[in-house]
Amino acid sequence: MELLRDVFGNARRGEKIFIYTLRNDNGITIKITNYGGIITTVKTPDKDGNKTNIVLGFQSLDDYLTDAYIENGPFFGCLVGRYANRIAKGKFAIEGKEYTLPINNGENSLHGGITGFDKVIWVPKKIEKPDMVGVELKYRSVHMEEGFPGHVDLTVTYTLNHKNELHVDYKAVTDRETIINLTNHSYFNLTGNKENIFGHSLQLNAKTKTVNDASLIPTGDIEEVAGTPFDFTSPMTIGSRIGELAEGYDCNFILNNPKGKLVKAAILSEESTGRTVEVSTTEPGIQLYTGYWIPEMEGKNGEKFGSYAGVALETQHYPDSPNHPEFPTTSLKPGEVFKSKTVYKFGVK
């Protein structure tokens, strides 16, 4: 196991930003920065032993700080909060008191607002143990930051082990009742971004999904996926039915995990490379987003991105849950501890 820390650059106000390299003995290399908690790199071997980066990201901090990147908001590899996904019209209430969030996605609030956790600087700390290496990230989100109530203290740990598993553990406490929904927004492309993700095979452990309105806000209805383009209960290539959807997939699948156990949620694979990613989580849902709105972008080191360059498998609570009491709750109260875990296991067929 190996853990390295290097300077990644300076943020817009001059703060020094670090990047951590996690490496195990099986050829897995992961790079994480404390700016936005971003996973910039997941380098894994293919069936022939060739290693390449299988997540969308930049090798330069400057690329994450450009106006073009920030305004288009693809959220490459970052931590998302306080509330991942959408809240209808940017409004929710706690005990009758209404709170208003920034509107940044049509008429709705998305991924924590204008300056969500993807753009803040987390306090990092190395994790070095005989069987794992990683980085602990801490951040205090102050009362009414982006419109959310309560001072919230957050800890997110990324750890890589010898089993080729990246564990992402989330923890949060608050001093007044608030809402919370955290995820990591990595996009995978198992070809190393040589091709789009249409040829990737996906299996989801979900027989139902939430029904969205035209602005991707849940109506409150739940529907079976059987017989629809959303049926991934058996492995299907992403591109096989994506043409039936105007903007590809961007929907919440229900994992039937009411007790919050660690359950297998998804298996992503790609035949030409043999690479696989298994996703397990304690969360009740997983958002499948196939990246239709990824902008045409080029990084200073030659990275190129655009529509369908990657697929995001966002483990989280349902969109707009604060306005749907029938959904699993996203409430966090003083004295409670929010905990969540997601595990990405990298392999080769």
Write out the catalytic residue numbers.
185, 314
Our count of domains for the chain comes to 1
Average pLDDT over residues 164-188: 98
Max CA separation in the chain (angstroms)? 59
Tokens 């039937």 correspond to what residue?
256
What is the reported pLDDT for 142?
98
Confidence bin at 316 (pLDDT 50/70/90): very high
Q: Are strands 178-179 and 331-332 parallel, antiparallel or unpaired?
A: antiparallel
Angle at 320 between CA 79 and CA 78, to 5 degrees: 10
* Confidence at 338, pLDDT banded by 50, 70, 90: very high
> How far from chain centre, in Å, is Cα 173?
20
The boundaries of the domain holding residue 294 are 2-348
| Rg (the chain; Cα; Å) | 19
Percentage with pLDDT > 90 across the chain: 99
* Mean pLDDT of all residues in 315-328: 98
The CATH number for 67's domain is: 2.70.98.10
- What pLDDT digit, counting tens, does each position of 221-276 carry? 999 999 999 999 999 999 999 999 999 999 999 998 989 999 999 999 999 999 99
What the block records as the tokens of 284 is 């009740």
Q: In this predicted structure, what is the pLDDT of residue 35?
A: 98
Tell me what the mean pLDDT of segment 27-49 comes to: 98
Q: Is the pTM of this model over 0.75?
A: yes
> What is the DSSP secondary-structure string of 38-105?
-EEEEEEE-TTS-EEE-B---SSHHHHTSHHHHHH---TT-EE-SB-SEEGGGEEEETTEEEE----B
